[in-house]
Amino acid sequence: MESCSNGGVEPSDRELMRRLARGQREALEALMQRHYARLYRIALGYVRQPDDALDVAQEAFVKAFQSAHRWHDQAEPAAWLTRITVNAAIDSYRRGRRRRAAEEPLEQGDRGLHLEAGDPPADRRVLGRELRGRVERALHGLPERQRAVFVLRHYEDLPLEEIGRTLGMKLGTVKSNLHRALLHLRRRLAGVRP
């Protein structure tokens, strides 16, 4: 239990999960307040589009509510929610949601078109978009397990042991998947300069 600013005690994640498993919806709201930002970042690292990441994070909490009765009391709630989020991101990717273009069309004429003094030159902005596109294509070219390990390690900075617990992998498997992902990305991005 954690201290609450009003002098009360906040329930732990485990207690909230127990309540959720009993169908108490208010427990879901408390879990969302604690974990939403982190799960959104994981989803964004995986699907690479903010709107898709929002959908994935919301879907993950819906799935958590629907399957809370299957949660085992000895399981770490944060890792369980992370695993649901990664699986929801994989499902989203498999459904083949098309990514929106990184550029929005310019309005007719030069209305609304202005550059601030601190804006990078146009050629740097184009290069940045091209580089982001290559990185995204390379990341999406990874097998699902490698991509999940890479995102959790490099976007969430999770320790390898925690990634293993979260994804249900042995430490050696996590290391192997991370190594293969890095090799693949290096090959795909060889010669790219920012």
AA identity, residue 131: L
Q: How far apart are CA 35 and CA 18, in angstroms?
A: 16
Task: Calculate mean pLDDT across residues 71-88.
Answer: 93
Res. 135 pLDDT band, cuts 50 70 90: confident
Q: Give 109 or 48, the one with higher predicted confidence.
A: 48
Q: How far apart are CA 22 and CA 169, in angstroms?
A: 29
Comparing 62-66, 83-87, 110-114, which segment has the lowest mean pLDDT? Answer: 110-114
Q: How far apart are CA 46 and CA 55, in angstroms?
A: 12
Which residue ranges form the domains of the chain, and what is each CATH number?
9-96 (1.10.1740.10), 122-194 (1.10.10.10)
Q: How far apart are CA 142 and CA 44, in angstroms?
A: 16
pLDDT at residue 118 greater than cutoff 60: no
State pLDDT tens for residues 52-75. 899 999 999 999 999 999 999 888
pLDDT for the residue 172: 96
Q: Give 80 or 122, the one with higher predicted confidence.
A: 80
Res. 92 pLDDT band, cuts 50 70 90: confident
User: What is the token pair recorded at 101?
Assistant: 């273009």
| Sign, CA torsion 2/37/28/153 | negative
Task: Calculate mean pLDDT across residues 102-109.
Answer: 42
C-alpha gyration radius of the chain: 20
Average pLDDT, the chain: 82
Please state the pTM of the whole predicted model. Answer: 0.68
pLDDT for the residue 109: 42
Q: How far apart are CA 73 and CA 104, in angstroms?
A: 47
If DSSP codes are grouped into helix, strand and coil, which group holds residue 156? coil
State pLDDT tens for residues 7-51. 568 999 999 999 999 999 999 999 999 999 999 999 998 888 899
* Ordered DSSP codes for 53-121: HHHHHHHHHHHHHHTGGG--TTS-HHHHHHHHHHHHHHHHHHTTPPPPPSSPPPPSTTTT----TTSPP
Res. 96 pLDDT band, cuts 50 70 90: low
Residues 184-193: contacts with CB under 8 Å, at least 24 apart:
184/138, 184/141, 184/142, 184/146, 185/138, 185/139, 185/142, 185/150, 188/134, 188/137, 188/138, 188/141, 189/134, 189/135, 189/138, 192/131, 192/134
CA 175 to chain centre: 20
